[in-house]
Structure 1
Amino acid sequence: MFAILKKEFNGFLNSLIAYMVIAVFLVAIGMFMWVFPESSVLEYGFADMQTLFAMAPWVFLFLIPAITMRTFAEEKREGTIELLLTRPITDLQLILGKYFAALLLALFALLPTLLYYYSVYTLGNPQGNVDSAAVVGSYLGLIFLAGVFCAIGVFASAVSDNQIISFVIAVFLCYIIYTGFDLIASIPVWGSYEYFISQLGISYHYAAISKGLVDSRDVLYFLSVIAIMVLATKLVLRSRKW
C-alpha cells in the first residue's frame, strides 16, 4: 500500500496537479476571506474563520474530484490497470494507496490556511479574540469531509475510464451527499422524518463538528461513508476481474 501511496503522491508532485490544487484553493478562499466585501473579514469587522469553513467545502467539492479523477481512469485508459491488479497486493491495498495519496494532497492544500488563522488571530480586538475550539473543530470537520470526497472521487474514477466523466460523477455524488439530503428534507412531505433525512448528509455532521464539540456519532458517520465508498470501489475492481 505504501509503495502505491508513494508512487501516486510523487505522480501528483511531478505534475502541475498538486501546485494547481493548492494555488486554486488558497486563491479562492483568500478572495472570499479578504477581498469580496460580502464575506471579507476586514469588512465584517469581526475576527473569525467562518468564511473559510463555509466556503472550503464548496471549493473542495470541485477541487478533490479534479485530484481523484485520474486515479483509476488514467490506469484504465493507458491499459495498466490489469498490470496493477496482478501485482502481489490486494485490491484494498491498491485502493487505499491511491485514496491516501489524494487525501494527503488535499490536506497539503489546507496547511497554508493556518496563515489565515494567524492573521485573524492577530486582527482580533483584543488580540487572540478567536473561538479556537470552533476553529479546531472546523479543521477536523474539513479533514473528514476531504476524506469522504476523496473516497467518492476514487470510486468515480474506478467506474469510468474517462477522466472527465469521472470528474462529473464525483462532483454530482459529492454535491448530493454534502447538501442534497438537506434539499430533499426541505420538501414538505416528510413530516417527522425530515430531521432523520437531513442527518444523512455531510453538512449536518460538518456543522456539528464545526461548533467545537466532537461527537463520536459524527466521527462514526464520516468513517462509515468512507468505508462504504472504499468497499464500493473494491466491488467495481472485482467486477473487472470477472
Structure 2
Amino acid sequence: MFTIYKKELYAYLSSLVAYITIGVFLVVLSLFLWVFPDTSVLEYGYAGLDSLFNTVPYLFMFLIPAITMRTFAEEKKEGTFELLATRPLTDWQIVLGKFFAALTLVLFALIPTIVYYISVYELGVVKGNIDSGAVIGSYIGLLLLGGSMVAIGVFASSLTKNQIIAFTIAVFLSFFAFSGFDSASQILSLQKFDSILMNLGINEHYQSISRGVLDSRDLVYFLSFMLLFLLATKTFLGGRKW
C-alpha cells in the first residue's frame, strides 16, 4: 500500500493540475472569507471562522473531484492499470494507497488556512477571543468530510476511463451526500422521516462535529461512509477482468 501511496502522491505533486487546483481553492476561499460582504469575517462583528467552515464543504465538492478524477480513470485510459493489477498487490492495497494519497493532498490544501485562524486570533478586539475548541472540531470535521468525498471521488474514477465523467459523477454524488438528504427531508410527503433522512446526510454530522463536540456516533458515521465507498470501489475493480 505504501508503494502505491508514494507513487500516487509523487504523481500528484509532479503535476501542475494539483497546484493550480489547490491555488484556485485558496484564492476563492480567501475571497469568500475576506472580500465578499455576505461572508466576510470583517462583517461578522465578532471573532469567528463560521464562514470558512460553511464555505469549504461546497468548495470541496469541486476541489476533491478534480483531485481524484485521475485516480483510476487515467490508468484505465492509458492501459497501465492492467500492469498494476498484475503486481503482487491486493485490491485493498491499491484502493487504500490511492485513497490516502488523495486525502494527503486535501490535507495540504487545508494547512494554509490555519493562517486565517491566526489572523482572526490576532485581529479580535480582545486578542485570542475565539472559540479554539470549535475551530479544532471544525477542522476535524473538514478532514472527515474530505475523506468522505475522496472516497466518493475514488469510486467515481473507478467507474470510467473518462476523467471528465469521473469528475461529474463525483460532484453529483458529493453534493447529494452533503445536501441531498437535507433537501429530501423538506419534501412534504417525506417530512415524517425528516430526522432519519437528515441523519443519513453528511451535513448533519459535519455540523455536529463543528460545534466542537466529538460524538462517537458522528465518527462512526464518517468512517462507515468512507468504508462503504472504498468497499464499492474494491468490489467494482475486483469484478473486472483485466
Q: What's the TM-score, normalizing by structure 1? A: 0.98
Tell me the secondary structure at the aligned position of residue 52 of structure 2.
helix
Other-structure match for 2:11: 11
Other-structure match for 1:153: 153
> Residue type matched to 2:59 in 1?
V
Other-structure match for 1:162: 162
Cα deviation for residue 167 of structure 1 reads: 0.3
Deviation digits for residues 188-228 of structure 1 (CA, Å, limit 9, x no counterpart): 11243211111000000000000000100000000001000
Tell me the secondary structure at the aligned position of residue 241 of structure 1.
coil
- Equivalent positions of 1:198-213 (< 5 A) are 198-213=198-213
Other-structure match for 1:82: 82
Cα deviation for residue 80 of structure 1 reads: 0.8
> Residue type matched to 2:19 in 1?
Y
Deviation digits for residues 113-141 of structure 1 (CA, Å, limit 9, x no counterpart): 00000000011121111011110110000
Partners of 1:58 and 1:235 lie apart in 2 by 29
Partners of 2:21 and 2:135 lie apart in 1 by 23
* C-alpha RMSD over aligned residues: 0.9
CA contact (8 A) 1:103 1:147 kept: yes
Q: Does 1:216 align with 2:211?
A: no
> Residue type matched to 1:156 in 2?
A
Q: Which has the larger displacement, 63-72 or 13-22?
A: 13-22
CA contact (8 A) 1:53 1:138 kept: yes
Runs of at least 4 residues off by over 6 Å? none
CA contact (8 A) 2:22 2:63 kept: no
Other-structure match for 1:44: 44
Other-structure match for 1:131: 131
Other-structure match for 2:34: 34
CA contact (8 A) 1:21 1:109 kept: no
Tell me the secondary structure at the aligned position of residue 161 of structure 1.
coil
Cα deviation for residue 55 of structure 1 reads: 0.3
Other-structure match for 1:119: 119
> Residue type matched to 1:236 in 2?
F
Partners of 1:54 and 1:17 lie apart in 2 by 25
Partners of 2:106 and 2:161 lie apart in 1 by 23
Partners of 1:134 and 1:43 lie apart in 2 by 20
- Equivalent positions of 1:97-116 (< 5 A) are 97-116=97-116
Partners of 2:83 and 2:191 lie apart in 1 by 52
> Residue type matched to 1:125 in 2?
V
Other-structure match for 1:233: 233
Deviation digits for residues 56-96 of structure 1 (CA, Å, limit 9, x no counterpart): 00000001000000000000000111111111010000000
Q: What count of residue pairs does the alignment treat as equivalent?
A: 242
CA contact (8 A) 1:181 1:201 kept: yes
- Equivalent positions of 1:47-86 (< 5 A) are 47-86=47-86
- Unaligned 5+ runs, structure 2: none
Q: Which has the larger displacement, 182-191 or 85-94?
A: 182-191
Partners of 1:20 and 1:46 lie apart in 2 by 33
Partners of 1:50 and 1:180 lie apart in 2 by 22
Cα deviation for residue 43 of structure 1 reads: 2.2
Q: What's the TM-score, normalizing by structure 2? A: 0.98
> Residue type matched to 2:115 in 1?
L
> Residue type matched to 2:232 in 1?
A
Partners of 1:191 and 1:43 lie apart in 2 by 35
- Unaligned 5+ runs, structure 1: none
Identity of aligned residues (%): 57
Other-structure match for 1:95: 95
